[in-house]
Amino acid sequence: MSSERPLGERFRRALDYAARVHATQFRKGTSRPYVSHLLGVTSIVLVHGGDEDEAIAALLHDAVEDQGGKRRLRDIRAKFGKRVARIVEGCTDSDVTPKPPWLERKKDYLKHLREADKSVRLVSAADKLYNASETLADFRSHRESIWKRFKGGRQGTLWYYREVARILRKNGPKLLAKDLDRVVRELSRASRVS
């Protein structure tokens, strides 16, 4: 968990790096800049005691998957160190283009998450909680049309979030697993009613 030290120059460089790497990217099906997601995930990591490396990894957790694959991971390792790169790699479900089929990637990621270390689980849990919360907020505004954004559709997306929460309830971080469970239950109930 976090020592009581302020975030330093490495964090500021990572913030700038993440903003540049994802500058032209938007959240799926929205006009929201992608950096909003990265900042949200990083905030959750810090609120739950993450240290500077974990916060940097939260900023960069999608860079490999979405912006350059293995080459991007090498760059992250060179700029931010081995631990950050290891956490980012642990949060990546694909580093190749084109990506493997959605269900295959998600099953592989779930298998990996069961064995992942606590830093990877923290960043991954923050990512999934942010995603599920954003999906719930979007559902309230746009109803069923949001499910078209997701390759897994309603059923697959909810299944995936439930499985992540189940793994995290067992392996931690348990508070984030509880929050994810709550949001997924609410999203499931809301989408059944509409």
- Architecture of the structural domain at 9-193: Orthogonal Bundle (1.10)
Low-confidence residues of the chain, pLDDT below 50?
1-2, 194
Alpha-carbon distance 95 to 70, whole Å? 6
pLDDT in the model for residue 158: 96
DSSP-based three-state secondary structure for 163: helix
**Which of 187, 146, 160 shows the shortest CA–CA distance to 103?**
160
**Which of 55, 48, 45, 49 shows the shortest CA–CA distance to 1?**
49
Alpha-carbon distance 39 to 5, whole Å? 19
pLDDT in the model for residue 3: 53
Alpha-carbon distance 63 to 73, whole Å? 8
pLDDT in the model for residue 1: 47
pLDDT in the model for residue 2: 46
How does pLDDT run across 3-28, given as a tens digit for each residue? 577 899 999 999 999 999 999 999 88
DSSP character at residue 193: H
Alpha-carbon distance 134 to 132, whole Å? 5
Alpha-carbon distance 8 to 162, whole Å? 35
Whether pTM > 0.75 for this model: the answer is: yes
Alpha-carbon distance 164 to 149, whole Å? 20
